[in-house]
Chains A and B, each alone.
Chain A
Amino acid sequence: MMKEKITAHIANLFSDVPASRQVNDLREELLANSLSKYDDLIEQGMPPEEAYKSVISGIGDVSGLLSQLRAQKMMDPILIEKSRIRSAVLVSIAVLLFIISPLAVIISDGSKLGMIFFFFLIATGVALLIFNSMTKPRYVKDEDNFVEEFREWQVENRQSKSMRSAISAILWPLIVVAYFIISFFFGQWHISWLIFIVGVCLEGIISLIFQIRMGDKK
């Protein structure tokens, strides 16, 4: 059956293209048009074999079109620039929150409300950092080959590693600061050391988040 041959030929053309909505749409469109053309040619009295050849040669070179579709999946420079700025803003706000957070305690003279506000500021900052790292656009491969995949993996790895160490670097000084603030203001030395255990938990949660993220990509 020539129609099956056409379908198989088109499926073959798309065999090494990563599936996406645009690619599926294009395939369906191409298939519908090719079959219409085939029916038309048969109706005009063309022998099936000849009609098949005519349809196939009429498709032409789709490689340019396909690489265009691949390229669409890549980031365009404006988007990269935008996300870079967004990322910088988020990190700056987070750092600002970390820096001003002790003020909540100092201004409120160590009241409970001040404490709550202090932790709230830090939590918001950490949330911003995590949100930033999770929504950061990744390096998108343009060719499906080993080198590109390796590079992508490398970038991901480097990115999440540097993010993790950055969070740790921020986390521990903050915990020490918080420890002294809480202890001095409340004089609760016997209990305030618990904050270090909270810190260990936080660190664990953060590394868990990163592991889940890495796992998602595989």
Chain B
Amino acid sequence: MSITSDLLRGHTDTIILRLLLNRDSYGYEINKYISEKTDGAYELKEATLYSAFRRLEENGSISSYWGDETTGARRRYYSITRQGRAVYEQNKTDWEEAKTILDELIKEG
């Protein structure tokens, strides 16, 4: 499992970008989606998630804005930028390539 989660963590940015392609979202919603989609097998730590947000925001892949919740703390929403879409496409291509290579190297026979 630890190798799996290491591998997955390496693609946190891409996963986040993918989710933001559909619509703007906030931290908990993104994490919940990841957890549900993987039947609870994988869930990001909040800390990992925010590190990724900061990183993506810094390189211009996403932008953020505060929601106008009337009750409780404000949520911070993220939306993907045009550059973010390009990064996503690039990462996806890279991943496909890596997958092919790994399959070739690891498979038996």
Interface positions of A (Cβ within 8 A of B): 25-26, 28-37, 40, 58-62, 64-65, 68
Contacts and interface: CB of A to CB of B under 8 A. Distances in A.
A60 B75 contact: no
A11 to B, nearest CB: 12
Contacts of A59: 45-47
A40 B50 CA distance: 20
Nearest to A39: B72
A32 B50 contact: no
Given A28-B76, A40-B32, A68 B51 contact: yes
Interface residues of B, number: 20
Counting from the closest, the 8 A-B pairs by CB-CB distance are A60-B45, A32-B73, A33-B28, A33-B27, A60-B47, A36-B28, A29-B76, A31-B73
B75 A32 contact: yes
B68 interface: no
Contacts of A58: 31, 43, 45-46
Chain B CB within 10 Å, residue with most, of A25, A60, A64: A60
Contact of B51 (A35, A37, A40, A65): A65
Contacts of B100: none
17 contacts: A25-B76, A28-B73, A28-B76, A32-B26, A32-B75, A33-B28, A34-B28, A37-B31, A37-B32, A40-B32, A59-B46, A60-B47, A61-B45, A62-B46, A62-B47, A65-B51, A68-B54
A32 B72 contact: yes
Nearest to B50: A65
B31 to A, nearest CB: 8
Contacts, number: 66
A33 B46 contact: yes
A28 B76 CA distance: 8
B38 interface: no
A31 B27 CA distance: 11
Contact of B74 (A32, A34, A60): A32
Interface string B52-93: 001000000000000001001111100000000000000000
B47 A64 contact: yes
Contact of A29 (B27, B32, B43, B51): B27
B109 to A, nearest CB: 40
